[in-house]
Structure 1
Amino acid sequence: MRLIATFCFVVFSSFASATTFVTVCYEDKNAPPFFLGSGFDVPEQRPGATIEILKSLEKQVSTVRFVFVRKPWQRCLKNIKNNKVDAVIASYRSERSEFLRFPRNLDGSINLSLAISMLGTCLVGQQGLATDVANRNFPLSLAVPRGYAVLSTLQQDLYKVILTDSQEDAYQLVLKSLVDGSLGLCKVYDEQVAGFPHSDKLQAIFPPIDISYGYLALSKDFMAQNPLVAQALWDKLGSMPLHQYYLDYVNNPINHKLPRY
């Protein structure tokens, strides 16, 4: 009888401590402060604020281990549609609900408090852009990387969008005066920032044209198989000092200091 009890305890302990691996797909382009570096490798040092947050989240939910893969953004979306990866970092769009699972309230609405980021996007350009906006010299030409969700919020009659392969390509077009502007991170939660490349030469036009919430969005299969794990991850994100990670990468681009948590 004692042997049976011991066996049951061991089996139960094994299940209780089982590790759930979560494969997260994110963009293979340099996109500070979210993701740093380019290509398929995940930098060991300074991987980006979003990756730092997920690594810290592992410590809060000890049975979870994240596996990071980098691919073009559209391929990440295709892979999660086909349940080949478990998670992406994405803003909510109604059409994405068909293949992504987001944290929700009891009434079915999206739970904003469990987002992994709350960031403002501004028009960004050289000095003359502010004058053009003030004088409503529309339409303005904007260079924007492919796949940016904020594109869907732009008024089509005000902006002519030129799609680029990367954020840096977009900003190079602005710096060379080939387009009027681009889009850039200008607000982290309640604090105004210059969180975009070449902020020493370019300026953001306030107020933000979009306030977006990013989420740890999960595949349908992962959510169906691990609902308790999914909720635990979202709940922990809701209690972490997430803004500090983004502000640290923006304000300390060379030597950042991660929040103590």
Structure 2
Amino acid sequence: MGMRSYLFSLTFTALFFSSAATAEPIKLCYEDVVVFPWITGDKQGLALSEMIYIEKKLNIRFKYVRLPWKRCMLEAQSGKVDALIAASFTSERTKWGVYPTKNNGQLDTSLKLHSDSYIVYVRNDSTIRWEDGKFINLGSNQVGVQLGYSVGNDLQEAGYPVYSTSSTAAELLEALQKKVVNVAVLQHMPSIKTLNEKPALGKGISAMPQPFKEMDQYLLFTKTFYAHNKDLTHKIWNTIPQARESGEYQKLKKTLLGSPKID
């Protein structure tokens, strides 16, 4: 390689990495309440640890926007943010969003951010039960869920009436305790964390042994962003497994989940 070609190569490489670092940041929206252990504060939690790892690995910049979850979805639909952190799959969201998929069009679960389950909580003085994938003795009772959570759609599609005015797990557990609702469906880890921190909310309440649903959470990009940044989107998705296995992630996971208060 001649000196001129060599200098051109160096210049091109420098410009490439410089442009990657100074390009318009990718706007990511995530929930403004604690969703333990995935979101524990501003740019904190296991899901955010994955994003920070990806930024460093790919030499790109993310702009983090923290809003109520329903507002995050509205911002994505209107193009004000580029992606949602920790979005479960629903067919409704595919109208405006893109999930990582395999060549056959099926979800690529290896590129998920994490998995969590939804647990059914009932009042001890209620005869409502969740068994073999259906509610028993539900009657006309509404099922409490957090506002904007996809599990509400799952319940409605199954024909169950939904109560969804609570933003946090604590608010929903309080509604259950005060008999505003007699049954509620909450994410497992955040609800356990809430009950450990506020044990009074668990008085007179029991968790059903069978989960309502196991659910994978993804980094969901908008169709607009994906159309203009297809290669970059796939690079980001493909870096997620590395982020989950990274030393930083594993150390934080041990710190958050190693507490004797957490099952």
What is the TM-score normalised by the length of structure 1? 0.77
1:5 CA drift (Å): 4.9
- 1:26 is matched with 30
- 2:72 is matched with 76
Matches within 5 A, 1:136-151: 136-139=136-139, 140-151=141-152
CA RMSD of aligned residues (A): 3.2
- 2:101 is matched with 104
Partners in 2 of 1:166 and 1:58 — Cα distance? 30
Partners in 1 of 2:220 and 2:260 — Cα distance? 27
Residue 249 of structure 1 pairs with residue 256 of structure 2: yes
- 1:259 is matched with none
- 2:119 is matched with 122
- Structure (1/2) with the larger helix percentage: 2
Residue from 230, 234, 245 that aligns with 1:231: 234
- Structure (1/2) with the larger strand percentage: 1
User: What is the number of equivalent residue pairs in this alignment?
Assistant: 241
Which amino acid in 1 is paired with 2:227?
A
Q: Answer with 23-32 or 144-153: which moved more.
A: 23-32
Asked whether the equivalents of residues 145 and 151 of structure 2 are also in contact (C-alpha less than 8 Å), the reply is: no
1:12 CA drift (Å): 3.3
Which amino acid in 2 is paired with 1:197?
T
In structure 1, list runs of 5 or more residues that go unmatched: 188-192, 256-261
Relative to structure 1, the CA distance from residue 64 to residue 156 in structure 2 (aligned partners, 3 Å threshold; closer, same or farther) is closer
Matches within 5 A, 1:3-82: 5-17=6-18, 18-19=20-21, 21-37=25-41, 42=42, 47-59=44-56, 61-82=57-78
Matches within 5 A, 1:73-222: 73-89=69-85, 90-128=87-125, 132-133=128-129, 136-139=136-139, 140-154=141-155, 159-167=160-168, 168-186=170-188, 195-199=192-196, 200=199, 201=202, 202-222=205-225
1:123 CA drift (Å): 0.4
Which amino acid in 1 is paired with 2:165?
T
Partners in 1 of 2:58 and 2:261 — Cα distance? 30
Deviations 1:113-161 (Å, cap 9, x if unpaired)?
A: 21112211010234345x5316922134332221110112226787442
Asked whether the equivalents of residues 156 and 162 of structure 2 are also in contact (C-alpha less than 8 Å), the reply is: no
Partners in 1 of 2:54 and 2:260 — Cα distance? 22
What is the TM-score normalised by the length of structure 2? 0.76
Q: Answer with 74-83 or 158-167: which moved more.
A: 158-167
Same amino acid, percent of matched pairs: 25
Asked whether the equivalents of residues 143 and 163 of structure 1 are also in contact (C-alpha less than 8 Å), the reply is: yes
